[in-house]
Chains A and B, each alone.
Chain A
Amino acid sequence: MDKPSGRLVRSHCVGTTAVVYASDYLNKLTGEKIERECRRQLDSGCRGLVIDFSDTQLVNSIGISILLGIIDVAEKSGARVAFSEVNHQTIELFEMLGLTRHVLLAKDEREALLNLSNYEATHIVH
């Protein structure tokens, strides 16, 4: 079910995983909106976050630093983060700044949700 929060950040929940959609340009302003939404979802009990970059054309370093902050917060909440539909260019940037070490990368939202549920299952088994 779609659950808009704020004018620009779309999100919805699938079970205990929230899917948050990044906008076309990830900078300080839009990054903070995503951060706000992710925090809200974590506070509501979500155990997984999928940030979808299908609309994202360009990211800057401030936006990336905010994503790192989101990953930190998620880890502290015991939640896992996946990025979906990240374009090649953006993946390069994430790699340069070491972001890809901390998240699961998926080609689309469905795969991201699947990866997170697999991870959760594995995590519980172990």
Chain B
Amino acid sequence: MNKRSSSENFRRILGRVTQYDFVGRGEELNRIMAHAEPANTGRGLLLLMEPSAGVSELLRQAYDQIFNQRSDVIPIYFAFTRHETTAVSAAIEFLNTFLQQYIAHRRDEPVVSHSTLTLHDLVELAPPADLEWIQQLVDSYARLRFSNDDKALVRFCLGAPQRVPRSRGRLMIMLDGAQLAEYLNGVVILGTEVLRVFGRGGFTFVLAGLRRQILSAAHEAKCNFELLDILRLQQLDVEQAALLVDHVARRQHVAISEAARDLLVQQFAGNPFFISIFLQAAREKNASLTSYLDCQRLYVDELLGGHLHRHFAELLEEIAPRIDTRHLLIRVLWEAVAGEDQISTFEIWRKRLHVTAGELQEILHRLHVQEFINWDQGIIEAGVGPQPWKDYLKVRYRLDVLNDPRALVVADALADSLKRAPHTMARHYKQIASGGLRELINRFNCQRVPSVLLDYATFSRKYKGAESDTIAAGLEAEPDLLKLPQTVHLASCVALDSDMRQLSDEDRCLVAHTFEDGAYSDAQEVIWLTADIESKLEVDVDVARVWCDRFDTLAANLGFSRYQIWLLSNEGFSEEAGRLLGRRKAFSSSRHQLALIAERLGESVSDPVVQSTEANEFLMVVPMGEDNELIAASTAEQIARRLMFRPEAINQIKTAVVEACINASEHSFSPDRKIYQRFRLESDRLVVTISSRGIVPANLNGASSGLETSEAAEERRGWGLKLIRTLMDEVEFERVDDGTSLRMTKYLRQSSS
């Protein structure tokens, strides 16, 4: 039974979306449900979330599931909101919510959970078995309410669940938005008080809040950590975030393309809150999101006046309530994002913001909790935070500090975000491509592999062009084995030396701290310096030398006494490069060798998969590789025959299709590893369009690819395109947001038909 059908009898109570549409947090929901089991009675679960990681719906879904189970577990869900301005009012609201939901569950009447009811109404609705303790609770509350002892009143309200007789069931109290509790005015810090009461109350609870805040609140409240479990709530991974976009877009009736969806996932870094409010804005504005331009237009609207703007504006207002301080703060924060003064001191900030030390502490604490800065003792690191926050700071800085014309700010923001979009996607695709390498190195743990797998020249000589079973047998018989070290730490080169960014993407150049034989001594410590060089052909000697030199310099600068260079490239290295690498004692591997190493370490280099739909023409989608271009060529042949092309022309079309497919496969870092083909028959021509998603190759947009390819490589790489242009009558690259789309036309001529 699938999720949709199983939810037919499910009553949605607090959940804002159906079970079917609740995506991305399945594991976390299971963990919360498990927390409600008898074994966890009396335990607390701290849900530590990244800012805006979206916890409310998770807890609401948990509430609905527990309610629908009709077990002895009584769910209570309470969200602290910005509407409650004091600890007392929040505590009273909690008492009311608690009684309402308790009675709803006892009566099995979900509607009671979200009705507007007074305490008097609740007493009247109380089941007879509960009437006595509820009446007593309400009476005590009435007495305390007017006693002028706010602290006692807060504790009384929060402690109300303790009044429930044990025989009635087990309470599962879920508190949402606990980060807000700290800011409520009053005699107590509500967040700490909540933990004090609940940590010692003996019932099961979940407290969700910002990760930087909730742990310190637990320490403040002197909680018994043996009775606390921790669940970390991070942003969604790419797959789940894409699924969320699909679901929300469908629910909000927003048309969205795959390319736009993937851009949103990257731009919002899988943040479910940003994704949801953005798609909500699209619905409100009746905007479709079928291109990068659609997305970025709406994005800029949102930054300047929509949901995103309101979200950040409210946060900034809480952080710096005074407008003059806020403007100064925007300036300081934006200048850090722009690359100036990212690391600074408390005193410098105090002077720049013109505030007292106490005021600054409050501001820094709130910025730190929201992860807009990293504040450690006297050092403040700014310039961090999600991309939308940085973009928001920029537009506010230009509008509020520089007083730039709004129209100009809008135009610049739109142009900037459009220019950034392809780079954002390219970075993502390269991360996918290099993800396997990172995982592979992390798995190094003293395994033995044939040395030839780290020596391209020898591998090429022995095995290039050999059958896979021949290679397998050969590797089995290889006498020379290399014992891999044990990897203990892996980082991007860029993290250790920002200059490396000029040479490589972050995830394609790695520094692994390893120990030979897993023995932790100076003598056994070896640093592996690994680079995955982007090249369609064998890497030449110049490129190999640059990398070796750069790694030597890096090792010297960082004081690595023993290091091992390992260079990788899709197609390996030229003979000359191989000789150089041999002299420099550097390891070298092609993608094929890497896959063979992965195979030996029990890991495969994975390829993600997505779908595509189109209509009204001959359409075909084939996976890249496996000679699948022949399938495309064969289809082209069949279609061309219908138009009565002559055999020579048909062959030309077939060859062009094959070349276009190879180009699409070779050039794209494709996320879905698919080639999309469209064949359009017209009376006098056949139009074939071959598309793929991924990175636009540098040689198609005129940009130089620098180190990555030599002149000869460029020339040979261009052969496919040269052939296509010769064989077909018209060849044109269509403009697409993501990847490439090559349109080729062959005319039907009297002489050739």
Binding site for B on A (CB under 8 A): 6-7, 25, 27, 29, 32-37, 58-62, 64-65, 88-89, 93, 96-97
A-B contacts, CB under 8 A, total: 55
Closest partner residue, chain B, to A87 (CB atom): B651
Q: Chain B contacts of A62 at CB under 8 A? A: 662
How close is A61's CB to chain B, nearest CB, in angstroms?
4
In the bound complex, how far is the Cα of B720 from the Cα of A37, in angstroms?
25
Cα–Cα, bound, A60→B112 (Å): 71
Partner of A58, one of B633, B722, B726: B633
CB of B465 within 8 A of CB of A61, answer: no
Q: List 29 A-B contacts (CB under 8 A).
A: A7-B467, A25-B627, A27-B627, A29-B465, A33-B465, A33-B466, A35-B464, A36-B464, A36-B465, A36-B466, A58-B633, A60-B655, A60-B658, A60-B659, A60-B662, A60-B720, A61-B662, A61-B719, A61-B720, A62-B662, A65-B719, A88-B648, A89-B648, A93-B655, A93-B723, A96-B723, A96-B726, A97-B722, A97-B723
| Contact of B719 (CB < 8 Å), options: A36, A58, A64, A89 | A64
Residues of the B chain whose Cβ atoms lie less than 8 Å from the Cβ of A89: 648, 651-652, 655
Q: How far is the CA of A36 from the CA of B652 in the complex (A)?
A: 29
How many residues on the B side are at the interface (Cβ–Cβ under 8 A)?
A: 23
Residue B496 interfacial (CB < 8 Å): no
- In the complex, what residues of B have CB within 8 A of residue A97's CB? 719, 722-723
Interface string of B601-642 (1 = CB under 8 A from A): 000000000000000000000000001011001000000000
Supplied contacts A60-B720, A97-B723, 12 more A-B pairs, CB within 8 Å:
A6-B470, A58-B630, A58-B633, A59-B655, A61-B659, A61-B719, A65-B719, A89-B648, A89-B651, A89-B655, A96-B726, A97-B719
Which A-B residue pairs are the 7 nearest by beta carbons? A36-B465, A32-B465, A61-B719, A89-B651, A33-B465, A61-B720, A60-B658
Say yes or no: A58 contacts B655, CB within 8 Å: yes
Type the 1/0 row for B639-658, where 1 means its CB is closer than 8 Å to any CB of A.
Answer: 00000000010011011001
Is B419 part of the binding interface, using a Cβ–Cβ cutoff of 8 Å? Answer: no
* Cα of A27 to Cα of B655 in the assembled complex, Å: 12
Chain B 718-745 interface 0/1 with A at a Cβ cutoff of 8 Å (1 = within): 0110110010000000000000000000
Contacts of A36 in B (CB 8 A): 464-466
Q: Is B420 an interface residue (CB 8 A)?
A: no
Q: Is B716 an interface residue (CB 8 A)?
A: yes
**A37 CA to B629 CA in the complex, in Å?**
25
Shortest C-beta distance, A21 to chain B (Å), equals: 15
How close is B624's CB to chain A, nearest CB, in angstroms? 13
A61, B723: Cβ atoms under 8 Å? yes
B716 touches A65 (CB 8 A): yes
A64 to B659, alpha carbons, bound, how many Å? Answer: 12
A60 / chain B contacts, CB cutoff of 8 Å: 629, 655, 658-659, 662, 720
B536 → chain A, closest Cβ, in Å?
10
Binding site for A on B (CB under 8 A): 464-467, 470, 627, 629-630, 633, 648, 651-652, 654-655, 658-659, 662, 716, 719-720, 722-723, 726
Closest to B666 in A: A62
* Chain A residue nearest in CB terms to B719: A61
Determine the chain B residues whose CB is within 8 A of the CB of A64 once the complex forms.
719
B-side contacts of A29, CB under 8 Å: 465, 627
- Give A68's nearest chain B residue, CB to CB: B716
A27 to B648, CA, bound (A): 20
Which residue of A33, A35, A62, A96 has the most chain B CB atoms within 10 A of its CB atom?
Answer: A62
- Residues on B with C-beta less than 8 A from A93 are 655, 723
Q: Which residue of B lies closest to A35 (CB)?
A: B465
Chain A: CB-nearest residue to B662:
A60
Question: How far is the CB of B113 from the nearest CB of chain A, in Å?
Answer: 64
In the complex, residue of chain B having the shortest beta-carbon distance to the beta carbon of A28: B662
**Residue from B464, B465, B720 whose CB has the most chain A CB atoms within 10 Å:** B465
- Within the assembled complex, what's the spacing in Å between the Cα atoms of A65 and B715? 11
A65 to B722, CA, bound (A): 13
C-alpha spacing A88/B648, complex, angstroms: 9
Residue of A nearest to B571 (CB): A28
**Complex contacts, B662 vs chain A, CB 8 Å:** 60-62
A52 to B728, CA, bound (A): 28
Q: Report how far A95 CA is from B345 CA in the complex, Å.
A: 69
Contact A58 B466, CB 8 Å, known A25-B630, A65-B716, A96-B722: no
User: Complex: how many Å from CA A97 to CA B719?
Assistant: 8
List the A side residues contacting B722 at CB < 8 Å.
96-97
B648 neighbours in A (Cβ, 8 Å): 88-89
In angstroms, Cα B103 to Cα A59, docked, is 77
Determine whether the beta carbon of B658 is less than 8 Å from that of A58: yes
Q: Is the CB of B466 within 8 A of A6?
A: yes
CB pair A32 B723 closer than 8 Å: no
What residues of chain A lie closer than 8 Å to B719, measured between beta carbons? 61, 64-65, 97
Which residue of B has the minimal Cβ distance to A88?
B648
Q: How far is the CA of A73 from the CA of B659 in the complex (A)?
A: 25
CB closest chain-A residue, reference B461: A39
Q: In the docked arrangement, what's the CA distance between A25 and B719, Å? A: 18
Chain A residues whose C-beta falls within 8 Å of the C-beta of B466 in the assembled complex: 6, 33, 36
* Contact status A58-B654, CB under 8 Å: yes
Distance of B557 from chain A, by nearest CB (Å): 39
Report the bound CA distance from A32 to B468 in whole Å.
Answer: 13
Question: Across the two chains, which residue of chain B brings its CB closest to A32?
Answer: B465
Closest to A36 in B: B465
Chain A residues contacting B651 (CB-CB under 8 Å) are 89
Cβ of A115 to closest chain B Cβ, rounded Å = 26
Tell me the minimal C-beta distance from B473 to chain A in angstroms: 13
B615 to chain A, nearest CB (A): 30
CA distance A35 to B627 in the complex (A): 19
Distance (whole angstroms) from the CB of A66 to the closest CB of chain B: 9
Q: How far is the CB of A64 from chain B (nearest CB, A)?
A: 7
Query: What CA separation (Å) do A58 and B650 show in the bound complex?
Result: 12
Shortest Cβ gap from B501 to chain A (Å) = 32
The chain B residue sitting closest to A89, CB to CB, is B651
Best-surrounded residue of A7, A33, A60, A64 (most CB of chain B within 10 A): A60
Per the bound structure, the CA–CA distance linking A62 and B722 in Å amounts to: 13
Assembled-state Cα–Cα distance A69/B466 (Å): 17
Q: How far is the CB of B150 from chain A (nearest CB, A)?
A: 78
**Chain B residues whose CB sits within 8 angstroms of the CB of A88 once the complex forms:** 648
Q: In the complex, A97→B659 CA distance in Å?
A: 14
Using A25-B627, A96-B723 as known contacts, say yes or no to A32 and B464 having CB atoms under 8 A apart: yes
Bound Cα distance from A35 to B463, whole angstroms: 12
Once bound together, how far apart are the Cα atoms of A27 and B629, in whole Å? 11
Q: Which residue of B lies closest to A6 (CB)?
A: B467
